[in-house]
């Protein structure tokens, strides 16, 4: 056998490592930009862009404390589960011009469950760490999961339904279908408005999913001093810090896959020719730019512009307004499809 | 062997000073001059210093001003909860000598009698510049350490 027969195996072994490295590094870079830009919005100078890397290095130098009354194996495995689930989610997502590594083995429903895992891990860690503040934080994390999963599920099912009508021969829940056939061209004016509402809902859901400022009730510093992460120090806290950074990459990629799966190469291909790898590089850079813009809108602008909601307000917001908006968008898209046919 | 230790130490310190997470403990007027350090004019985040919400995430404990007989118990408790390596910065004359409360019956006179203090910042209250000078001295110390390791 020639070495080319082994290529799929080599790819399958190295792709997860490469993806994990990409997710961590770009997540930290995005975090650095977030802190710098937020500082500029508040008329400050802000930390250097490398600051998140410094933070992680420092956290890995610090002492790792496991509380006396904690359940050590749950306490220590929670950050690893959180990190592992996010990297697993990256394997299912198309990264820019590259197809997902596990594209043929799972679909959006699997992804929906994987995306609930980091929150669940944080909850487990909080409950197992024996601090009352952590328990309160874990309960709030659970409330968060219950709140944002519902609108997210409606968004995903709206897309799947539309695709199953448009392309009956393709897999409706597959992310590959989403990437190859962007939805914006295939809908009328009503559907266009519906998609816009879905996009806004998705952005709001993402802010809740990454647990940032208006919806950071789970680790609200001034109320429950860190919540579920309260007892974590050293390496474990470092892993949660990294997971927090990767989360924005995962959620941003999900938004890109749903709403902006466009590549520059298909647009520019007619004007000049370049070798294949050059197009890949251009598309990848374009993907990074899209991620940066989404992170800026979802994380930086939101956290500078809005103060924290109360717990009941968050639940009301997601179950009331966000769910209502996504249902309206669903009915608009249904009307558009039925009226158009 | 000693050289090796110094090398490890210099690397460790180099990582630690780049991102210092602070936990504040104030129950007196000493806080008034530290607030501008956080706000936009002096902006301590430039140097990677941020305020965290609980002692378990913190590297540096800032004790501001005089401590009463009651509050010093909490300070000791907070100090014990912080993960190693940790440091304490004491703000104000009150932490050094008792300051203007030197003959008060219910305040402690010298903080280092109770917890190990790494650095004192004098003043009543200390100006933000003094706080930054203290931080700068720590940075300078670590740079010296690095230079020594490199020179050998
Ligand atoms: S040093 Fe001065 S400002 Fe600080 S606590 Fe004492 S009296 Fe107040």
Question: Could you give the angle at the alpha carbon of A318 between the alpha carbons of A316 and A321, nearest 5°?
Answer: 75
Cβ–ligand 1 distance for B39 under 6 Å, the answer no
Q: Is A55 on the interface with B (CB under 8 A)?
A: yes
| Of A276-280, A313-317, B6-10, minimum mean pLDDT range | B6-10
Is pLDDT at B135 greater than 50 in this prediction?
A: yes
Flag if A57 and B59 touch (Cβ within 8 Å).
no
Please name the residues in contact with A315: beta carbons below 8 A apart, sequence gap of 6 or more: A143, A146, A147
pLDDT for residue B3: 60
Provide the whole-model pTM. 0.87
The pair phi, psi for residue B20, each rounded to 5°, is: -105, 120
Residue ranges per domain, chain B?
6-145
Question: Nearest Cβ partner of A45 from B46, B56, B57?
Answer: B46
CA-nearest residue, atom 8 of ligand 1 = B29
- Residue B1 pLDDT: 42
Q: What is the pLDDT of residue A325?
A: 92
Which pLDDT tens digit goes with each residue over A125-134?
Answer: 888 888 888 8
Contact B48 A35 (CB under 8 A): no
Give the list of residues 6+ apart from residue A169 with CB closer than 8 angstroms, or none.
none
Q: Which residues of A touch B40 (CB under 8 A)?
A: 42-44
Using a CB-CB cut-off of 8 Å, the residues of chain B touching A61 are 12, 15-16, 85
Residues in chain B with CB shorter than 8 Å from the CB of A43 are 40
pLDDT reading at A25 higher than 90: yes
CA distance B2 to chain A (A): 20
Distances (CA, A) of A45 to A40, A149, A288: 6, 37, 25
* A46 shares contact with chain B (CB less than 8 Å): yes
The segment with the largest mean pLDDT, out of B9-23, B42-56, B67-81, is B67-81
Higher pLDDT, A242 or A175: A242
Pick from A39, A63, A225: CB nearest B84: A63
ipTM: 0.84
User: Which fold, B6-145?
Assistant: Rossmann fold (3.40.50)
Best probe residue, ligand 1, of B24, B99, B111, B120 (max atoms within 8 Å of C-beta): B99
pLDDT band at A32 (very low <50, low <70, confident <90, very high): very high
Strand order in the sheet with B119-121: B49-51, B20-26, B60-64, B87-91, B119-121
Helices (H) and strands (E) in chain B, counts: 5, 5
Residue B72 near residue B108, CB atoms below 8 Å: yes
pLDDT at B54 over 70: yes
Q: Which residues face B91 on adjacent strands?
A: B64, B121
| E strands, B44-106, in order | 49-51, 60-64, 87-91
């Amino acid at each position: 056998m020639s070495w080319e027969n082994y290529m799929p195996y080599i790819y399958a072994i190295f792709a997860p490592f490469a993806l994990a490295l990409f997710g961590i590094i770009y997540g930290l870079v995005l975090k650095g930009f977030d802190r710098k830009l937020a500082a500029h919005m508040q008329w400050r100078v802000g930390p250097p862009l490398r600051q998140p890397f410094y933070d992680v290095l420092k956290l890995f130098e610090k002492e790792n404390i496991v509380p006396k009354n904690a359940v050590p194996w749950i306490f220590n495995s929670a950050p690893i589960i959180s990190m592992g689930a996010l990297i697993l989610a990256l394997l299912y997502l198309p990264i820019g011009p590259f197809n997902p590594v596990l594209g043929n083995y799972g679909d959006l429903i699997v992804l929906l469950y994987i995306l609930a895992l980091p929150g669940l891990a944080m909850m487990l860690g909080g409950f197992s760490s024996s601090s009352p503040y952590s328990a309160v934080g874990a309960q709030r994390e659970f409330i968060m999961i219950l709140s944002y999963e519902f609108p997210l599920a409606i968004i995903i099912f709206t897309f799947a339904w539309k695709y199953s009508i448009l392309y009956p021969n393709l897999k409706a829940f597959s992310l590959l279908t989403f990437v190859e056939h962007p939805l914006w061209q295939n809908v009328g004016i009503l559907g266009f408005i519906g998609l816009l509402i879905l996009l806004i809902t998705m952005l709001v859901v993402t802010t809740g999913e990454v647990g940032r400022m208006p919806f950071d009730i789970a680790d609200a510093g001034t109320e429950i001093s860190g919540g579920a992460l309260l007892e974590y120090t050293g390496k474990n806290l470092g892993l949660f810090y990294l997971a927090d950074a990767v989360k924005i990459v995962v959620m941003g990629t999900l938004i890109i896959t749903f709403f902006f799966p466009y590549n520059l190469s298909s647009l520019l291909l007619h004007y000049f020719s370049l070798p294949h790898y050059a197009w890949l590089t251009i598309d990848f850079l374009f993907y990074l730019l899209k991620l940066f813009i989404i992170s800026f809108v979802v994380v930086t602008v939101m956290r500078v512009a809005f103060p924290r909601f109360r717990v009941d307000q968050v639940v009301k917001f997601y179950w009331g307004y966000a769910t209502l908006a996504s249902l309206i968008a669903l009915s608009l898209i249904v009307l558009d499809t039925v009226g158009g046919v | 062997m000693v050289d090796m230790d110094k090398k490890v130490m210099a690397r460790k310190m180099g990582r630690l000073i780049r991102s210092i997470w602070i936990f504040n403990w104030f129950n007196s007027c000493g806080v008034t001059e530290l607030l501008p350090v956080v706000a936009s004019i002096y902006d301590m985040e430039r140097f990677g210093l941020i305020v965290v919400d609980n002692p378990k995430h913190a590297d540096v404990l800032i004790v501001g001003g005089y401590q009463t007989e009651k509050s010093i118990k909490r300070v000791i408790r907070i100090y014990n909860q912080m993960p190693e390596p940790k440091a304490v910065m004491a703000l104000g004359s009150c932490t050094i000598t008792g300051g203007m409360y030197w003959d008060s019956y219910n305040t402690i006179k010298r903080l280092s009698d109770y917890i190990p203090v790494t650095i004192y910042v004098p003043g009543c209250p200390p100006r933000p510049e003094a706080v930054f000078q203290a931080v700068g001295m720590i940075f300078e110390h670590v740079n010296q350490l690095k230079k020594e390791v490199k020179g050998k």
